[in-house]
A and B are shown apart, each in its own frame.
Chain A
Amino acid sequence: MQVGGKNAPERIPRLGPGVDPARLALTPAEGYLLSRIDGRTSWSELRQIGGLPPAEVERCLGRWLSEGVLVVSAAPQARESKAAPGREPAPARRPAPSIAGRPELDPSLDIPLELQRRILEFGERLDAPYHEILGVPRDADRKALRHAYFQLSKELHPDRYFRRNLGPFAKRLERVFGRVVEAYELLSDPTARAEIERSLAAAAPANATPQASPAAAAAEAAPERAGTPPPRRRPHVFSVPSRMLKERKARAKRFFESGMAAYGAGRWLEAAGAVRLAIAHDPWNAAYKEQFVEVHRRAHDERAKQLVKEAESALELRDYASALRSFEEALQDRPHDADLLRRAARLSFASGGDLRQAKEWAAAAVEIEPRDAAAHRLLGQIFKAAGLEANARRELEIALELDPKDEEARAELRASGPLQALRRLGGKRWVG
């Protein structure tokens, strides 16, 4: 259903005289489409950017036209249009193009306004489900995926606009293309796709249930229903069509609930993953973030606990290297666990591991637990092995002070003196 021939002027729909969009009964999607009608965007552009399948846009616009909601006028001659895809569209003396509604549009750039608009619209849909990004049905096969991906690449790959002045659109284009790649790669990977499918399925039933507060939902939908574009651009996040926003929030809630269930059952790793997904879908919900801190901590603790167990069983088998590795990994989850730090340091020191690393761990343990005599003693011993006599003495003295009964520290301190042999050994391994 092509609108006019190549050279025919573009049809520009605008609101009919005296039409009050607020009085129309519209779905949010229709409201969104109506909000795109600004008296400057052409019929064919609307087909692309209306947020609905082109045929649907066509049907809607046709209906509104017949109902008198819209009237149509011809585009001014000098307008950007598909008919003139020139590489450099006559930079000088171009009549000021219509850029109202989108202050980002910049006629001085090297790409048509239509494309700029497309990039902006695309950029706002980046949070949509992956199949929507590619514009394919959810059950699209590999061939259809690839076709969509190739077509979008031809349109949106930065190489297409090599050496052109894209201004801020260069970054936008890169982001959009990056998302297209991501969508294609994930949907082409059976495992990832199954995961995506699961999360979509999980979100679907929640979608049908009403949102938390009807007032909030109404507030969200209101600007869309107003039909005409608001005087100023709203911040990025709110330009997501409310339908999608709702879907995302519902999905987020779903994730959050399953996360909390897992949390209740003590499956912390799973819980952390689910809450993280919830936040990704609904970053505006402070409660999720709050909860995440706790879940996250428990998940880390859990992992660290497992790793420590692994380390302990490795120790029983005298597999010091594995034990050390497990301790190290556990430390990634609990970098401030003094006990863990001290055990790792002692093992590394005793098994002839990296002395510098041992020192760092021991020093961190001391920093966290400044009253832990054993940690000070260990640090002192490590210093001593490294030939840093003064440091060693200081730590051993602190250890003795904290625990006068620490005979080991006392013995070390007594033995320490001008021990040339130790200094020689240590100096080589690391120099403070």
Chain B
Amino acid sequence: MGRVIGIDLGTTNSCVAVVDNGQPVVIPNTGGYKTTPSMFALAEDGKRLVGHLAKRQAITNARNTVYASKRLIGRRFDSEEVRRAIELCPYEILEGPNQDPRVRLGDKVFTCPEIAAIILREMKRVAQEHMGEPVREAVITVPAHFNDAQRQSTKDAGKIAGLEVLRIINEPTAAALAYGFGRKPSDETVLVYDLGGGTFDVSILEMGEGVLEVLATAGDTFLGGEDFDRRVVNHLLEQFEASEGIDLRSEPMALQRLKDAAEKAKCDLSVAVQTEVNLPFIASDANGPRHLSVVLQRETLERLVVDIVDRTMETVRLCLADAGLTAQQVDQVILVGGQSRMPLVQERVAEFFGKRPHKGVNPDEVVAIGASIQAEMLLSQEQNMLLLDVTPLSLGIGTYGGHFAKLIERNTTLPVRRAHVFTTTRDNQTAVKIRVLQGESDVAEENDLLGEFILSGIREARKGEPEIEVSFDIDTNGIVSVSARDLATGREQSITVNATGTLSDEEIQRIIDDNELYEIQFKQ
């Protein structure tokens, strides 16, 4: 039996790890890097480029290079996040048949799971080359606040990449697993502050007796390191416009260069107090070429993003309230995600909790390590650790009058199953429609629609008489399934919740077939 890898499929970077002789290790790619950019590009000659190669040519081939596609996966085309991505990304995003966003590269249209699969396949390849054996199974991490469609799409991506996904686990939970691994079993309350490239999560866990129990989790979908970059880019754009009178916003290549430079400057300012951004020949007009040269102070950066950092602390507060704890009751704070390296972030966290955050984990690698530990935990004989995770979002149904009836509250321990009895509202009604929603708003419309289904074949009776029991399950992957039973006849109804924004089985198979063809091509 092959070994199981843990993959941190990040917004900007991905990382793979495996447990080797009882010790989790991060697997470096062929270039020796422990993380791989989550980028994919179609080169001029139709060649597929992944990771560092894709990143290296991203500037010159901006229209055909996809980055941060994790922001799109499992979302509806008409969602706020997709709208924002369309505004900002140099690559083309269009609407797929399931109201899902898709990306056009060259003359080919890719679904988001397909792009994620290409990254996953690359991580699988890295692992296989390193271990010298085929890899077929993986544990993949997702942000804690990912909803059902996003998780389902990530699972589909694994399938397309030829991986059986043993488990989808939450990134902060994985980080906590890595922290807890090999530690003496003592009672501790741990808070994970996970500020990644595109997402922000907070989870609070209780550890003891070899059990890791997630008490609460909270997140902000619209917050991540890229927002910091964007602030810097805007700052540079304004500076340039002020000094040179040229607006670079409509120049895709200039924007891409600015974005890269902004990210680099931001990272530099985590160690230095000032840095210089130099972009020669960024534009030209009648007076000849123009160069961008700006000195950026750490203080300036902090001024630009302080409100974002404060917003993260709001989420921390919310999570603490959900867990019923005060900041003083948290024994250890673990910082995860590249953006948590920023001194301002560390200061704010330290200030809030009155203690320095834990230093022992590498914020870029800890999630993949945790994923590999989870794989080991599931499959090992001894099983001296157990994870009790929760659902991040409430699950329920839309009811009469546009309300949202929660059937499973957020932060409920998984797996969970709740049944609810429904009835008809008209005489001789033989079908009812059930809308399954996920979210926290009391207004049905403001939550994510996971899908809707029609329960038909109800026996004819007076209104209110039939009793149809609908069960809602959330499994340990956080994936939702629904089943229904007519209590009078005992007849089970098979239901498929057709989630918008995800792929059908046929589509997945077609993509797998496509990719296999491609694989053969590539190897020759």
Pick the contact of B388 from A157, A163, A328, A357 — CB < 8 Å? A157
Complex interface bits, A143-166 against B, C-beta within 8 A gives 1, otherwise 0: 000110011011001111011000
Q: With A160-B383, A163-B379 in contact, do A331 and B401 touch (Cβ < 8 Å)?
A: yes
Complex interface bits, A88-105 against B, C-beta within 8 A gives 1, otherwise 0: 000000000000000000
B522 to chain A, nearest CB (A): 33
Tell me if A335 is interfacial: C-beta within 8 Å of chain B: yes
Tell me if B176 is interfacial: C-beta within 8 Å of chain A: no
Complex interface bits, B397-422 against A, C-beta within 8 A gives 1, otherwise 0: 00111000000000011011100000
Q: With A174-B415, A178-B417, A336-B463 in contact, do A159 and B387 touch (Cβ < 8 Å)?
A: yes
The 6 closest A-B pairs by CB, nearest first: A328-B401, A150-B211, A162-B378, A150-B209, A181-B413, A87-B381
Complex interface bits, B268-307 against A, C-beta within 8 A gives 1, otherwise 0: 0000000000000000000000000000000000000000
A177 to B415, CA, bound (A): 9
Q: With A154-B211, A174-B415 in contact, do A332 and B401 touch (Cβ < 8 Å)?
A: yes
Contact B379 A185 (CB under 8 A): no
Tell me if A329 is interfacial: C-beta within 8 Å of chain B: yes
Contact A331 B400 (CB under 8 A): yes
Contact A153 B211 (CB under 8 A): yes
A332 to B206, CA, bound (A): 41
A32 to chain B, nearest CB (A): 29
User: What are the residues of chain A within 8 A of B415 when measuring CB–CB?
Assistant: 158, 174, 177-178
Q: With A153-B386, A162-B378, A163-B379 in contact, do A181 and B416 touch (Cβ < 8 Å)?
A: yes
B165 to chain A, nearest CB (A): 13
23 contacts between A and B (CB under 8 A): A87-B381, A146-B208, A150-B208, A150-B210, A150-B213, A151-B209, A153-B211, A154-B209, A154-B210, A154-B386, A159-B387, A160-B383, A160-B386, A163-B379, A174-B415, A175-B417, A177-B415, A178-B417, A181-B416, A328-B400, A329-B401, A331-B401, A336-B463
A207 to B95, CA, bound (A): 65
Pick the contact of A158 from B383, B399, B476 — CB < 8 Å? B476
A160 to B476, CA, bound (A): 12
Which residues of chain B from 192 to 234 have any CB-CB distance to chain A below 8 Å in the complex? 206, 208-211, 213
A335 to B378, CA, bound (A): 49
Extra 18 A-B pairs, beta carbons < 8 Å, given A160-B383, A178-B417, A181-B412: A87-B381, A146-B208, A147-B209, A150-B208, A154-B209, A159-B378, A162-B379, A163-B379, A174-B417, A175-B417, A178-B415, A178-B416, A181-B416, A185-B412, A329-B401, A331-B401, A332-B401, A335-B400
User: What are the residues of chain A within 8 A of B413 when measuring CB–CB?
Assistant: 181, 185
Which residues of chain B from 449 to 478 have any CB-CB distance to chain A below 8 Å in the complex? 463, 476
Tell me if B430 is interfacial: C-beta within 8 Å of chain A: no
User: What are the residues of chain B within 8 A of A178 when measuring CB–CB?
Assistant: 415-417
Tell me if B496 is interfacial: C-beta within 8 Å of chain A: no
Complex interface bits, A314-358 against B, C-beta within 8 A gives 1, otherwise 0: 000000000000001101100110000000000000000000010
Contact B210 A159 (CB under 8 A): no
User: What are the residues of chain A within 8 A of B210 when measuring CB–CB?
Assistant: 150, 154
A174 to B413, CA, bound (A): 12
Complex interface bits, A171-197 against B, C-beta within 8 A gives 1, otherwise 0: 000110110010001000000000000
Tell me if B441 is interfacial: C-beta within 8 Å of chain A: no
Tell me if B425 is interfacial: C-beta within 8 Å of chain A: yes
Chain A residue nearest to B211 in the complex (CB): A150
A181 to B463, CA, bound (A): 36
Chain B residue nearest to A88 in the complex (CB): B381
Chain B residue nearest to A327 in the complex (CB): B401
User: What are the residues of chain B within 8 A of A87 when measuring CB–CB?
Assistant: 381
Chain B residue nearest to A324 in the complex (CB): B401
Which residues of chain A from 180 to 232 have any CB-CB distance to chain B below 8 Å in the complex? 181, 185
Chain A residue nearest to B374 in the complex (CB): A159
User: What are the residues of chain B within 8 A of A177 when measuring CB–CB?
Assistant: 415
Contact A157 B463 (CB under 8 A): no
Contact B388 A153 (CB under 8 A): yes
A185 to B412, CA, bound (A): 9
User: What are the residues of chain A within 8 A of B381 when measuring CB–CB?
Assistant: 87
A174 to B476, CA, bound (A): 11
A157 to B166, CA, bound (A): 16
A416 to B458, CA, bound (A): 41
User: What are the residues of chain A within 8 A of B386 when measuring CB–CB?
Assistant: 153-154, 157, 159-160
User: What are the residues of chain A within 8 A of B387 when measuring CB–CB?
Assistant: 159
Chain B residue nearest to A354 in the complex (CB): B402
Which residues of chain A from 125 to 154 have any CB-CB distance to chain B below 8 Å in the complex? 146-147, 150-151, 153-154
Complex interface bits, B427-446 against A, C-beta within 8 A gives 1, otherwise 0: 00000000000000000000
User: What are the residues of chain A within 8 A of B211 when measuring CB–CB?
Assistant: 150, 153-154
User: What are the residues of chain B within 8 A of A328 when measuring CB–CB?
Assistant: 400-401
A329 to B399, CA, bound (A): 11
A147 to B210, CA, bound (A): 11
Chain A residue nearest to B475 in the complex (CB): A158
User: What are the residues of chain B within 8 A of A162 when measuring CB–CB?
Assistant: 166, 378-379
Complex interface bits, B87-127 against A, C-beta within 8 A gives 1, otherwise 0: 00000000000000000000000000000000000000000
User: What are the residues of chain A within 8 A of B412 when measuring CB–CB?
Assistant: 181, 185
User: What are the residues of chain A within 8 A of B417 when measuring CB–CB?
Assistant: 174-175, 178
User: What are the residues of chain B within 8 A of A160 when measuring CB–CB?
Assistant: 383, 386
Chain A residue nearest to B389 in the complex (CB): A159
User: What are the residues of chain B within 8 A of A174 when measuring CB–CB?
Assistant: 415, 417
User: What are the residues of chain A within 8 A of B213 when measuring CB–CB?
Assistant: 150
Which residues of chain A from 74 to 112 have any CB-CB distance to chain B below 8 Å in the complex? 87
A185 to B387, CA, bound (A): 16
A21 to chain B, nearest CB (A): 37
Pick the contact of B399 from A150, A154, A181, A332 — CB < 8 Å? A332
A328 to B402, CA, bound (A): 10
A405 to chain B, nearest CB (A): 32
A56 to chain B, nearest CB (A): 26
User: What are the residues of chain A within 8 A of B378 when measuring CB–CB?
Assistant: 159, 162-163
Chain A residue nearest to B401 in the complex (CB): A328
Which residues of chain B from 361 to 407 have any CB-CB distance to chain A below 8 Å in the complex? 377-379, 381, 383, 386-388, 399-401
Chain B residue nearest to A328 in the complex (CB): B401
B217 to chain A, nearest CB (A): 16
Chain A residue nearest to B399 in the complex (CB): A332
User: What are the residues of chain B within 8 A of A158 when measuring CB–CB?
Assistant: 415, 476
A150 to B210, CA, bound (A): 8
Chain A residue nearest to B384 in the complex (CB): A154
User: What are the residues of chain A within 8 A of B209 when measuring CB–CB?
Assistant: 147, 150-151, 154
User: What are the residues of chain A within 8 A of B401 when measuring CB–CB?
Assistant: 328-329, 331-332, 357
A420 to B377, CA, bound (A): 70
User: What are the residues of chain B within 8 A of A151 when measuring CB–CB?
Assistant: 209
User: What are the residues of chain A within 8 A of B476 when measuring CB–CB?
Assistant: 158-159
A178 to B381, CA, bound (A): 24
A331 to B166, CA, bound (A): 46
A19 to B86, CA, bound (A): 83
A86 to B417, CA, bound (A): 30
A150 to B378, CA, bound (A): 17
Contact B208 A332 (CB under 8 A): no
B299 to chain A, nearest CB (A): 46
A87 to B378, CA, bound (A): 13
Contact A332 B400 (CB under 8 A): yes
Chain B residue nearest to A177 in the complex (CB): B415
A87 to B381, CA, bound (A): 7
Chain B residue nearest to A325 in the complex (CB): B401
User: What are the residues of chain B within 8 A of A159 when measuring CB–CB?
Assistant: 377-378, 386-387, 476
User: What are the residues of chain A within 8 A of B425 when measuring CB–CB?
Assistant: 335
A87 to B379, CA, bound (A): 10
B68 to chain A, nearest CB (A): 32
User: What are the residues of chain B within 8 A of A154 when measuring CB–CB?
Assistant: 209-211, 386
A159 to B210, CA, bound (A): 14
Chain A residue nearest to B206 in the complex (CB): A146
User: What are the residues of chain A within 8 A of B377 when measuring CB–CB?
Assistant: 159
Chain B residue nearest to A157 in the complex (CB): B386
